[in-house]
Structures are given as structure tokens and as C-alpha cells.
Amino acid sequence: MTIKKLVAVALCAAMGCGLAGCFSASIDEGSPKPVENVSVTLAQGRTLSSAIMAAATRRRWLPQEQTGGTIRCTLSQREHLVVVDVVPNGSNAFSIRFVQSNIPVRKYDQWVNNLSREIVFQASR
């Protein structure tokens, strides 16, 4: 083998490994982490429903009341879309249920965890 061929083979191998690394890093396997039974401490005069609505609005989600006390929250940023249902579990706890998403699971988990923390914060205000 000549030096040119060796360099060409080495270059192709390096590019192939680099591309394989990119493809494996962009694949996002798994399902969203559930957010279940998050406890809140309600401030005087505050309801869980009002805390959820305030938190969603503050985080730029669009909250819409559904039947049974569930609040459907939609977040749309550029071409990204996430839809979740925030379900009250009694008067001092809630769960967030996945409805729809077109973003990677790790980003979904981040956005939903931010919403959850904001609900807890708004409930205590």
C-alpha cells in the first residue's frame, strides 16, 4: 500500500467514526420521566389550580382548564411543541402527564421539571 492510500483509508476511518459518534449522540432513546405526586404547600388563600395557571403562564406555557380539574398546558417555541396535562392529586399534590412532544426526551424532561418547580414555587407565594 502506498502512503497516499494509507492516508486516504485513515481519513475515511476517522470520518466514519466521527459520523457514527454524531449519530449515536443524537439518538434519544427512552421515554419521558414521569412527574408523579409532587407535594406543595399552599400559601394562605392560594389554590392548587391558581398556582398551576400562574406557573404555566410565567413559564410561557398556555394553560387551559379541562374537565375533572386537569389543566392542559402547551408550550410552543419555534418548531418545538410540548403538551402535558397537569393533574391535581387532592388539594396539595399534582402529577404531570405526557400528552405530546416533538423534542428530544432530555429536553422534554428539562422543560417539564422547570414547570413542576415553578408550580411548587407559585403555590407557596
Do 88 and 118 form a contact (C-beta atoms < 8 A)? no
pLDDT (tens digit per residue) in 60-111: 999 999 999 999 999 999 999 999 999 999 999 999 999 999 999 999 999 9
Do 81 and 101 form a contact (C-beta atoms < 8 A)? yes
pLDDT at residue number 28? 53
pTM above 0.85, yes or no: no
Listed by start position, the domains of the chain span 1-29, 31-123
pLDDT band at 8 (very low <50, low <70, confident <90, very high): low
pLDDT at residue number 27? 42
CATH of domain 31-123: 3.30.530.50
pLDDT (tens digit per residue) in 47-60: 999 999 999 999 99
- Alpha helices per DSSP H over the chain: 3-26, 48-58, 105-123
- Cβ contacts of 77 within 8 Å, gap of 6 or more: 60
pLDDT at residue number 4? 61
Q: Does the structure show a pLDDT above 50 at 19?
A: no
Task: State the Cα–Cα distance between residues 43 and 56, nearest whole angstrom.
Answer: 18
Lowest-confidence range among 18-22, 23-27, 87-91? 23-27
pLDDT band at 30 (very low <50, low <70, confident <90, very high): confident
Q: Does the structure show a pLDDT above 50 at 125?
A: yes
User: Rg of the chain over CA atoms, in angstroms?
Assistant: 22
Q: Which of 124, 99, 91 is nearest to 35 (CA)?
A: 99
